Amino acid sequence: MAELGINVDHIATLRQARMGLEPDPLYAAMIAEQNGADQITIHLREDRRHIQLRDLKLLKSTIQTRLNLEMALTTEIIAIAKTIKPNTVTIVPERREELTTEGGLNLKIKHLDQRMKELQEVGIEVSLFIEPDIEMIRSAERLKADAVEIHTGNYANAKNINDIDQQLSKISKAAKAVKSTGMRVVAGHGLNYHNIIPLVNLKIIEEFNIGHSIISRAVFSGLAEAVSTMKKIIS
């Protein structure tokens, strides 16, 4: 059975819109865990646009499952990861101007192998977020990654049946290639309640990391109760 990592960055985005205390990603993580999440995923971005260092520290000390920290390979964030020691770090590309992570990592980054080793040496599992590309997977294996998270963004954005099939086939081949190396097979980005089904049916992906669609759905499954509670107070 595949495991589910819940990305709670989107809760922090809402909190940062007011620079206040709510909604708190810690509370979101607790609810996610109580309802079957196997992992909590956060991205501590260099610009701190959503998750803050405080969230990372508190999540690490309070969650009951596993913590997956998505991060760019900068000196500052590596030092933070080595101190806080999440269970996993997923190395992602990061550009300040992007709305969300765009595309997989370039594995030709200087000193990638050394940086990965530094993290692995303190007991952190290292996952690489890459495109569903066989050459990339071979490089990830050479780099001794523990896991590969296949970028599913192009699949999620595919607009017609042919394109969807083509993207799905790439993911299927990539997932098999990752599995054959012994690295863990993870997938994520842009997954929702519809496009997840063919990926689950591949029966090879061991973990999905999902944020936006789940938090979007939560807004509407909770809005009726939130309005009626306020109405009761007012009247």
Give me the least distance between CB of 126 and ligand PXP, in Å please.
13
Active site residue 70: yes
Binding pattern for the stretch 108-127 against ligand PXP, x by CB under 6 A and - elsewhere: --------------------
Contact between 154 and ligand PXP by CB under 6 A: the answer reads: no
Please, is 85 exposed, middle or buried when counting C-beta atoms within 10 Å of its C-beta (0-12, 13-18, 19+)? middle
Identity of the residue, 132 or 188, whose beta carbon is nearer to ligand PXP in the bound complex:
188
Closest CA to 167 of 152, 188, 149, 189: 152
10, 43, 50, 151: the catalytic one is 43
Give me the least distance between CB of 232 and ligand PXP, in Å please.
33
10, 50, 151, 189: the catalytic one is 189
Contact between 72 and ligand PXP by CB under 6 A: the answer reads: no
What are 61's two structure tokens? 């000390």
What are 175's two structure tokens? 């997932």
CA–CA separation, 22 and 43 (whole Å):
18
| CB crowding 21-55: b at 16 or more within 10 Å, else e | eebbbbebbbebbeeebbbbbbbbbeeeebbbeeb
10, 70, 131, 207: the catalytic one is 70
Binding pattern for the stretch 41-70 against ligand PXP, x by CB under 6 A and - elsewhere: --x--------------------------x
Contact between 157 and ligand PXP by CB under 6 A: the answer reads: no
Q: Is 37 helix (H, G, I), strand (E, B) or coil?
A: coil
Contact between 100 and ligand PXP by CB under 6 A: the answer reads: yes
Q: Which of residues 163-202 bind ligand PXP (CB under 6 A)?
A: 188-191
Q: What value, to the nearest 5°, has the Cα angle with vertex 93 and ends 89 and 74? A: 65
Chain residues in the site for ligand PXP (CB under 6 A): 7, 9, 43, 70, 90, 92, 100-101, 129, 149, 188-191, 209-213
